[in-house]
Chains A and B, each alone.
Chain A
Amino acid sequence: EAQVTQNPRYLITVTGKKLTVTCSQNMNHEYMSWYRQDPGLGLRQIYYSMNVEVTDKGDVPEGYKVSRKEKRNFPLILESPSPNQTSLYFCASSRGWGEVFNEQFFGPGTRLTVL
């Protein structure tokens, strides 16, 4: 089944404790992205990657890191989480960026709470 998987789905952690949220897609997609969803703010893009070893900042990259060492994986790293990073996180991927490749497939989400 074609899908985007995220782990963990739920995480409660404490301020300053480094964490990684994994994202993997099995569709051989070129483009991958991370978003956070907050009440009243919609979805905001954190980082995106157009190909292996190519990553770019979205609108809200502060406090996050990403890497794209393999095409299928795009982990989100919080080196020193803070309470304002409490949010619902979505990973997404798309085949590319042409007219017919715009559709992004989203993972199920990771709910992160930073105490």
Chain B
Amino acid sequence: DQQVKQNSPSLSVQEGRISILNCDYTNSMFDYFLWYKKYPAEGPTFLISISSIKDKNEDGRFTVFLNKSAKHLSLHIVPSQPGDSAVYFCAAREHSGTYKYIFGTGTRLKVLA
């Protein structure tokens, strides 16, 4: 049973436009959400995170929105650049005494020049 779902395996966007990557979750014990970017043959790198008590966090071109009632979060990239082409993973932290991380299956973003 997938607790963190990224329902879009891939997304193509024109350079300069907005990229919106979505993530849904089912577990109410998640207290932090994170986004990672992964290039081929490399390990994932951290992009941005948000606490479950907030609804928005912004860092440069990247903004994460959290809708707790819908159990949904999204990553907005504005403007999109060709170097943003990568696989994006949504992750959630479960706080139940210890700290465990659940990742989604990833969305491959392609930014077209």
- What residues of chain A have their CB less than 8 Å away from a CB belonging to chain B? 4, 31, 33, 35, 40-45, 48, 50, 56, 58-59, 90, 92, 97, 99, 102-109
Contact = CB atoms under 8 A, between A and B. Distances in A.
Contacts of A106: 36, 43-45
Contacts of B99: 31, 48, 50, 97
Contacts of A104: 34, 36, 44, 46, 101
A106 B36 CA distance: 10
A80 B20 CA distance: 43
A8 to B, nearest CB: 15
B81 interface: no
B89 A103 contact: no
Interface in B46-81: 46, 49, 51
Contacts of A48: 98-101
The B contact surface, by secondary structure, is strand
A43 B44 contact: yes
B102 interface: yes
Contacts of B51: 99
A45 B100 contact: yes
A60 B11 CA distance: 29
Contacts of A31: 99
A4 B104 contact: no
A40 B49 contact: no
Q: Which of B51, B91, B99, B106 has the most CB of A within 10 A?
A: B99
